[in-house]
Amino acid sequence: MRSVADLAVSDPVGKLTRQMQAYLKWHRKFGAEPFFHRKSQRVVLALLHVEVDGNSQYMRGINSEVSLPTGAICAERAAIVKARTDLPGIRREHMKGIAVLEVAADFAAPGTVSLNNPLPPCGACREWLEKIQEESRGFYVLTYPDLTFSQVHERFLFWSEEEESMQPEDLGPWTCRRCGERNAPMSSECRGCTVSRFSLLYTRAPSEQRFYDVLRALQEGGPMSMEGVRSWLVTAHRGPQSDTELSRTLQRLEKNAREDARTGEVYGRLVSRDGRGLFCVTDTGMRLLERWNSSKGVQRRVRELAAAAASPQ
């Protein structure tokens, strides 16, 4: 969930939301023919964001439910078909996201129908959208809690509502601070500029060995006090750190969390404290350790190969 007022001008979510506001205004002016909604007495609007050769277009769709044996047509699928009709040769990777909004039907009896916003795709539409996402990995679905557009809910099809409620704070949807691209939860690389959100460069994490050792201690030993960290370092033969040095190391890791000035999102959180005040490594810190270990493994292998090449046969 994000505040619409806080969305950057360049944010695709903000652009699609503004287009949906314009669509709602247009719909209120012209209305809908009751015949096409007589089954449910509901009107749903959808807006599909399509990008071809760097140019964005927004395809409108509306539901049709006429009580015929052939079934109903949802707004999402109507928007997809319109895109295929207006843009011959369009491919799935050109489809970037879709917004869905239920609006008040002026032909419905007052008080008989309450709006179901935020309105996620039905099962049939979800199947269509998941097929689009196979070729458009960052495909997103926007819904809105009401018609004021004060908030927008951004959904990712592979992300269940249960997972959404349990997601780690630092592994949820993220906006790249380098290029401004909005990215899916749990993704490691920006779909805009390919930077890794868990790299030393992006997190601005310190690279000295003593920081790595402390993160390893918290990874393997779980939440610990400063004394617990010191004991692990001694046992693991990582070399002693003075009280002052260890305290500064932990403080630097804890304060590595930074707030992006444009989006207000926090990135680079490596160490936090639990309810007991013990230090623990965050999910971002765990991912950074994985990359660190991989990098060290590659460097070690390069040294081994160099040594083997230099040794006499």
Which stretch of 27-36, 111-120, 192-201, 209-218 has the lowest confidence by average pLDDT? Answer: 111-120
The pTM of the full predicted model, rounded to 2 decimals, is: 0.56
CA atoms within 13 A on the CB side of 168: 15
Q: What is the pLDDT of residue 9?
A: 81
pLDDT attached to residue 68: 76
Whether 200-310 and 2-158 are alike in CATH topology: the answer is no
Query: pLDDT digits over 95-110, tens only?
Result: 999 999 999 887 766 6
The ranges assigned to domains in the chain are: 2-158, 200-310
d(CA 217, CA 221): 6
Is pLDDT above 70 for 170?
A: no
Q: For 186, left (φ over 0), alpha (ψ -120 to 50), or beta?
A: left
Which residues fall within 8 angstroms of residue 123, CB to CB, at 6 or more apart? Answer: none
Measured over the CA atoms of residue 279, residue 285, residue 290 and residue 293, the dihedral's sign is negative
Can you tell me the distance from the alpha carbon of 44 to that of 38, in angstroms, rounded to the nearest whole number? Answer: 13
Does the structural domain 200-310 have CATH classification 1.10.10.10? yes
Domain 2-158: which CATH class? alpha beta
Question: Tens of pLDDT along 240-269?
Answer: 678 888 999 999 998 998 888 777 788 888
Residue-wise pLDDT for 49-89, tens only, equals 999 988 999 999 999 988 777 778 999 999 999 999 999 89
- pLDDT computed for residue 166 by the predictor: 47
